Amino acid sequence: MIKSQSKICVRYAETDKMGIAHHSHYFEWFEVARTELLRKIGIPYSKVEELGVSMPLLEAGCKFFKPSFYDNELTVEAKIDEMPKATILINYSIFHEENLLTTGFTKHAFVNSQLKPLRLPSFLKEIFETYFPKREG
Residue 102's DSSP bridge partners are: 64, 94
- CB count in 10 Å sphere of residue 107: 13
C-alpha–C-alpha distance, residues 43 and 38, integer Å: 5
C-alpha–C-alpha distance, residues 69 and 74, integer Å: 10
Amino acid occupying residue 90: I
Of 51, 58, 63, the C-alpha closest to 26 is 63
β-strands 99-109, 87-96: how paired?
antiparallel
Positions annotated as catalytic residues are 16
